[in-house]
Structure 1
Amino acid sequence: MGKSKTTKFKRPQFNAEGLPVNAVKDEDEDENYGESCPAAELLEKLQSPSADVREFACASISRVVQQSHTIPGFLQRDAVRRLGPMLLDSSVAVRETATGALRNLSACGGQEVCEDMVKHDVMTPLTVLLRECCSGFEISVVPMEDKRNPVEHVANEAVNLLWNLCESNTQAVSIFNKAGLLDVVVQCLEKYPHNVELAISAAHCLHTVTEDNPELLCSINTTVLGALENVLLSSQESMAHTLLRALTAGILWNIKSSLPAAHQAQILNTVVATLSQCLDIDAGAIIPRLRQAEEDRYLNTGAGVENETSKDFPVDEMGEEGEEPNPKINGNSKAVNIDYDVSDLLPRVREELREATALLTAQQTSLEIIVNMCCSDDPSDDEWEESSSSDESELGPDSLCDGVSSLMSPLCLSAEVHGALITHCIPQKVIKKTEFPSPEAIKICHPNPAWKCLIKRLERVQTRALTCLHSILSTMDVESLGGVTALQEAALHLSSLVFGESEIPNDAEFLEAVTSALRSLLQTIASKNIPQCMTPQQLLSLSEAASRCDVVSVRVNAVAILGITGSILAREKDTAETIQLIGNALLQIASKDTDLVVNGEALDALFDVFADGDEAEMAAKNIQLLPALKALQPVFKAKIRKEGRGKYAPQQLCVLDNVKTNLRRFISYLEKVVKK
């Protein structure tokens, strides 16, 4: 029922060992923490006069809270209030472990725990700690080159905690603004030449707090811009630095309105060039080389990969790390996609794996930034809903399709963004990334538990690329996309992704991404009367597969695809039989699907398919469309009345009301057709 605006991406949190928030480590189970939570004993040890005991307590808390069922026990005993002062302990080791404990607590406890932390004023000691760390950067002495800088390590934990809090709590962002923490985090970012781990943490944090934060923009000065530009133009070739540059590109995009007018075009071009260079890297070729390098290194040092214990790397949980929840819908009907990043949390002994993870995170981030670029200039979230609220007296049978027809024209995209994306061949590079992950990379990662987690990351890059392609197709005209031939090749490519195997893939995230891209592509093709490359039978099988998916947006996309295909067939000859198949499928969805939005989309598609044309009229009679819609009309109205209020957003209800009105008028139109 209209083009949905592709949304900006968010991620849930990981704890300090790289576990998803719902993971429970096998090692913890082996240590028999059992059902009893040692919260009281460990929190009591925080008051010990011995720094070693306090450090042990903080480290133990950090470990125990990775089991989500232990968190309530800590919260009931005021863990946040008691851990907060430990951030400013006289012992640097205690500061580090306390910050790590709070970081894990915020990660494993999620939004509710983060809100509790902010409520208990953890931001005050955290702010002081960050300022002290930054003031101590220059005076901190590291005795040996291979020794870590303890102050910078504390800062890294603190920045990650700050990142978690700001991503989960708007009050934390407000405190970030008022406390002037921008300059502090930028100082951490500037450590990139020798401490890329800290710089990446800072970049992640800045990427979060600069998004939709106009209050912060007044703090963007030449010093901040200079630091960001230095990172963006840095020449280090590691994958970690590639990730750092991608995140910095995202920060600059978020603060684009604060950029000097004279340099906006130049900086924008550099941002897109950075994303383009990141997408140029062939992960399918890099990953096997990195894996081989790891094996060679272990052979040369006399150790073996198999000797690495699970304490070095949470292999089982990381292997399942890609099992993300389905996209959530917020109050504005925008999908909030979940993302994970643990590249800074992998043990240093696995430097090649860290590099591979950083590369895939960088490419995923780059694709998400491009999505945000394409949707930032959308005229509205609900373009069709606005056009549907026009005067009913102006709406006749032919104009029932007006709302959908308007969707086939490109959305607004600024000339500067459009030009930069085309100059750096972003559409072609995005299409390349939509290909299935390299079989060679999959083969080499699969046998090794630690590397197996990359398979999910490879798949996620593909789904993000499909989502990105959807945004690009929605915002660019045919010529910008390479012309008719390029679109037909893209259609064949998407067709191969969906129908290349014996069965249509059933992964919900993949289906959502590929159906969104396919929908946008078919809309573009239809608007230019370009011959389609997929058969109606293929699209019907896709619709059938999508109908079994729990994700509403997948079912909506499938219905829209059927509507587009049917409306095109209605203008051709000898298509009545296929139109009947499509009509019957849409009627089934309109009456049987459990979601009102999908019901409405199916009715909307029926209006498009049967609005005009001899073939459509013949098909409508054969499937008894008029009596079917008459029978459906009171049921649909009753469902809106009973289920609509409270379950659906105001914008969705507006659309459903329009569909209800259009249904009444479409029935009147069909009655006139029958009388002819």
Structure 2
Amino acid sequence: MGKSQKKRQMRRHNPMRVPDSHLPKGLAAALASTSKEEAILPIIQKMDSPDAAERKWACVAVSNLIQNDPSTRRLLQGKNVVGSLITRLTDSEEEVVVEAGGALRNLCIDGGYDICAEMYNKNILTPLKTFIPKISVTLAQFLENPKNAPENVHNIMYEFADNVITILWCLSETSNKALNAINQISLVPFLMSFLGARDKLPISTVASAAHCLYVLTDDNYPAIQEVRSNGAYTACLLSVARPDENQKANGKGKAPSDDREVTLQVLCAGILKNISPIPPPSVAALADIDNEVVLPTIQLILSSISLPEINSRAEELIAQEIAMPDLKNLSIKGSPKSDHKSPAEIELAQIERKLRTVQLSLEILTGVCATLPDPEPVVDEGGDEDENEDEEMEDDDAEMAEDDAPAPTTSTTIHLPPFVPSLLGLIQPTELTFPPFLDAISPHPPTTSAIVAVHIAALECLNNIFLALATSLQAQQAGPSSADATIGRDIWTKIWAALEAVGTEVNCPGQGRRKDMWEVAVGVLWGIAVVWKGAIVPEDSQVNLLIQLCNVTSDPSLKVKCIGTLECLAQYRESIESNKLISQYLLSLVPSPVNSPGPSVEPHLQAVSALIDIFSDEMSPYDINFRQSGYLDELVGSVESVRKAIRGIDKKHERDLRRRGEEVRDNLVAFIEYRRGLQL
């Protein structure tokens, strides 16, 4: 099992606010699922009107119609609204350009990957590039002589800059092709100019600049190097990100007046994490970024968030919205709906923003959790530390345990990070986590989307925590002390409590995020099971669910996680019947003359490896299952099929898996000889 990695294609920083995976594909389906078909045609017609007022009206109408409405968004997309809006970015009227930028920005945020890809393919970068120097010049003029232009002119410029930056940030996560094109624009000085003048600019625009820079420095060397090598940039970022002394001392402190200030602080901490290590002579080079900047900032946020409280308040606000007349529908006929927001809508937007900041914090923390300090051994009986531990931690496909790893020789006290209890609280579903089963539409989709994103990000943190612990224990040839067993079982119970609330109906329309939670959570279960191997009591219901999930999923990685977890559960010494259930299932996955592994060999290799590990100790109480059920004969009969499956692995494209398969084959042959020699 590998770490939860930062993968650009996941678009974690540009979440689709209203997921539409439950909707049928195609224009006809979009027409059937929206009540706004009649409003679409006038918008498309007026987008090319000779009257600038009508072109502006059309741009504004797009923003209003797509809000929390994926069906209408898809319908507009089918009518080439993206191409029309990109054309309007070169309109002769500035007001039309501004509104077109706002509509495209909203499409990016509400539509996600598909629309961003369409924008890139339709060459949106060409007009966007021309705006960068113009905005820079205007910004410099405003900062130098703020009274030379009315306040409303300032606000329009800042809002337009925000829109342009947000589009670029979203496009940066669309594909490597789009990212490489954006690298050519050299955005770093432009974005840093907003951070440098943050005290004089709207916080929303500065936060957007920081978010764009955070995305650009996420595993993207050109941007990383440009920021890292500029001492003024890193000093600026550090001044925003570092908590004050009061916060560092006791974990408390006065909260910023605007939640976007918290977001800005987290983003700057994340940027510093992305570009570390920072070379001297920058003042940031002297700071321990993880321990002095990232962790204090994030721990403060995690300790102040309560999803049950947020859920309760959101439900109250949703009820208020339902009870109020829809002011947006009271607009004058023929004009776009009003963008006026009620107090309830404003507070719901603040809740969503707060949840997205928590999600962002958790994503940064996921990277930190992959390199947590080792547990401290209590008794050392001479086990050598694995010199390749660091290399294994960097391998995406690092295995939890080697087949021939020796039994633990050291008892270790495991010191879990202080934020683990907060993470366990953040994975528990609330009433708004998932849409209702009947209509697959949440009463407030943005809140639902943000809450479940927090759950998944917290699970990814836990995944890396327990992977790091498992790898460290393996390197030390150590196991947890007996006093830690209760901690492990308590964490295990809380993970399962969350999964029970998620439920198993993951393939229903609109319920895809339930499946996402299961996929990440099984990795967490595997990590816990490895760390506390032999201490987790296998419950039949949990074992059967893992077997069921392994059978129904088509994802080889998830199958491997299920098998790895079952392997550890089978080694609870007192559960002979559970061991029998698990081992018989694993044996059914072993390649044999009547059981071809098909195209995905890795899960079957994992099953072979698991059986070797489970029955490597012939003195265990459950070894009776191996002897009485004739497992040795079945493994002997599988050797040639295992060899054949391994020969089918492409050496060129799956080199690591081929090497892993050859190790499993050799271990299987050695294991058979060993068991034969015992003559039991």
For the aligned pair, the TM-score class normalised by the smaller chain equals 0.7 to 0.9
Distance 1:469 1:486, change over 3 A: farther
Match of 1:167 among 140, 161, 173: 173
Distance apart, 1:42 and its partner CA: 6.2
Match of 1:350 in 2: 345
Distance 1:83 1:452, change over 3 A: closer
For 1:129 and 1:458, how far apart are their aligned partners in 2? 35
Match of 1:135 in 2: 137
Distance apart, 1:649 and its partner CA: 4.1
SS in 1 for 2:537: coil
CA contact (8 A) 1:15 1:108 kept: no
Distance 1:17 1:490, change over 3 A: closer
Match of 1:91 in 2: 93
Distance apart, 1:513 and its partner CA: 2.9
CA contact (8 A) 2:432 2:442 kept: no
For 1:670 and 1:587, how far apart are their aligned partners in 2? 16
Match of 1:379 in 2: 391
Match of 1:566 in 2: 570
Match of 2:223 in 1: 216
Match of 2:4 in 1: 6
Does structure 1 residue 306 correspond to structure 2 residue 324? yes
- The higher relative CO (CA closer than 8 Å, separation ≥ 6) is in 1
Mean Cα deviation higher: 255-264 or 176-185:
255-264
For 1:630 and 1:88, how far apart are their aligned partners in 2? 72
For 1:462 and 1:277, how far apart are their aligned partners in 2? 18
Cα deviation per residue 1:73-115 (whole Å; 9 max; x = unaligned)? Answer: 639xxx65x7556435443321123224544665677657655
Distance apart, 1:350 and its partner CA: 1.6
1:273-422 aligned within 5 A: 273-284=296-307, 286-287=309-310, 290-291=313-314, 306-308=324-326, 350-375=345-370, 379-380=391-392, 401-402=403-404
CA contact (8 A) 1:39 1:74 kept: no
Match of 2:274 among 241, 250, 254: 254
Match of 2:294 among 247, 250, 271: 271
For 1:73 and 1:16, how far apart are their aligned partners in 2? 24
Aligned length: 596
CA contact (8 A) 1:494 1:514 kept: no
Distance apart, 1:664 and its partner CA: 3.6
Match of 2:503 in 1: 505
CA contact (8 A) 1:603 1:663 kept: yes
Distance 1:136 1:439, change over 3 A: same
Match of 1:122 in 2: 124
CA contact (8 A) 1:371 1:467 kept: yes
For 1:368 and 1:546, how far apart are their aligned partners in 2? 26
Match of 2:580 in 1: 580
SS in 1 for 2:173: helix
CA contact (8 A) 1:130 1:184 kept: yes
Cα deviation per residue 1:300-326 (whole Å; 9 max; x = unaligned)? Answer: xxx9753247889xxxxxxxxxxxxxx
1:180-199 aligned within 5 A: 180-189=186-195, 190-191=197-198, 195-199=202-206
For 1:304 and 1:465, how far apart are their aligned partners in 2? 31
CA contact (8 A) 1:587 1:602 kept: yes
Match of 2:380 in 1: none
SS in 2 for 1:614: coil
Mean Cα deviation higher: 53-62 or 619-628:
53-62
For 2:577 and 2:299, how far apart are their aligned partners in 1? 46
For 2:643 and 2:314, how far apart are their aligned partners in 1? 59
Distance 1:108 1:542, change over 3 A: same
For 1:453 and 1:249, how far apart are their aligned partners in 2? 26
For 1:14 and 1:382, how far apart are their aligned partners in 2? 23
Distance apart, 1:233 and its partner CA: 5.1
Match of 2:237 in 1: 228
Match of 1:517 in 2: 524
For 2:517 and 2:528, how far apart are their aligned partners in 1? 16
Distance 1:384 1:145, change over 3 A: closer
CA contact (8 A) 1:159 1:202 kept: yes
Does structure 1 residue 627 correspond to structure 2 residue 636? no
User: Which residue identity is paired with 1:517?
Assistant: V
Distance apart, 1:659 and its partner CA: 2.5
Q: TM-score, normalised by structure 1?
A: 0.72
Mean Cα deviation higher: 187-196 or 275-284:
187-196
User: Which residue identity is paired with 1:543?
Assistant: L
Distance apart, 1:629 and its partner CA: 2.2
Distance 1:192 1:159, change over 3 A: farther
CA contact (8 A) 1:163 1:204 kept: yes
For 2:322 and 2:114, how far apart are their aligned partners in 1? 42
CA contact (8 A) 1:400 1:607 kept: no
For 1:284 and 1:611, how far apart are their aligned partners in 2? 45
Match of 1:467 in 2: 460
Distance apart, 1:171 and its partner CA: 3.8
Does structure 1 residue 155 correspond to structure 2 residue 161? yes
1:47-58 aligned within 5 A: 48=50, 50-58=51-59
SS in 2 for 1:218: helix
Distance 1:658 1:237, change over 3 A: farther
Match of 2:419 in 1: 426
For 2:341 and 2:634, how far apart are their aligned partners in 1? 59
Distance apart, 1:262 and its partner CA: 4.3
For 2:322 and 2:579, how far apart are their aligned partners in 1? 62
User: Which residue identity is paired with 2:631?
Assistant: L
Q: TM-score, normalised by structure 2?
A: 0.72
Distance apart, 1:187 and its partner CA: 3.3
Mean Cα deviation higher: 618-627 or 538-547:
538-547
Distance 1:254 1:87, change over 3 A: same
Distance apart, 1:70 and its partner CA: 5.7
Cα deviation per residue 1:407-457 (whole Å; 9 max; x = unaligned)? Answer: x999xxxxxxx99x95xx3344334434x24679999xx999654653453
For 1:625 and 1:450, how far apart are their aligned partners in 2? 54
CA contact (8 A) 1:464 1:513 kept: no
Match of 1:534 among 519, 532, 537: 537
User: Which residue identity is paired with 1:95?
Assistant: V
For 1:514 and 1:638, how far apart are their aligned partners in 2? 33
Match of 1:547 among 541, 547, 550: 550
Distance apart, 1:590 and its partner CA: 3.4
Distance apart, 1:596 and its partner CA: 2.3
CA contact (8 A) 2:529 2:565 kept: yes
Cα deviation per residue 1:10-58 (whole Å; 9 max; x = unaligned)? Answer: 5449999944465798898323269x9899856754xx3x422433454
Distance apart, 1:193 and its partner CA: 7.0
Q: CA RMSD in A?
A: 4.9
Distance apart, 1:347 and its partner CA: 8.4
Match of 2:447 among 434, 440, 454: 454
Match of 1:394 in 2: none
For 2:359 and 2:629, how far apart are their aligned partners in 1? 46
Match of 2:664 in 1: 659
Cα deviation per residue 1:459-478 (whole Å; 9 max; x = unaligned)? Answer: 44233222212211222468
Distance apart, 1:495 and its partner CA: 1.9
Distance 1:468 1:661, change over 3 A: same
Cα deviation per residue 1:513-535 (whole Å; 9 max; x = unaligned)? Answer: 33222221222223xxxx61423
Cα deviation per residue 1:559-590 (whole Å; 9 max; x = unaligned)? Answer: 11222233453xxxx76554333311211233
For 2:15 and 2:583, how far apart are their aligned partners in 1? 53
CA contact (8 A) 1:400 1:662 kept: no
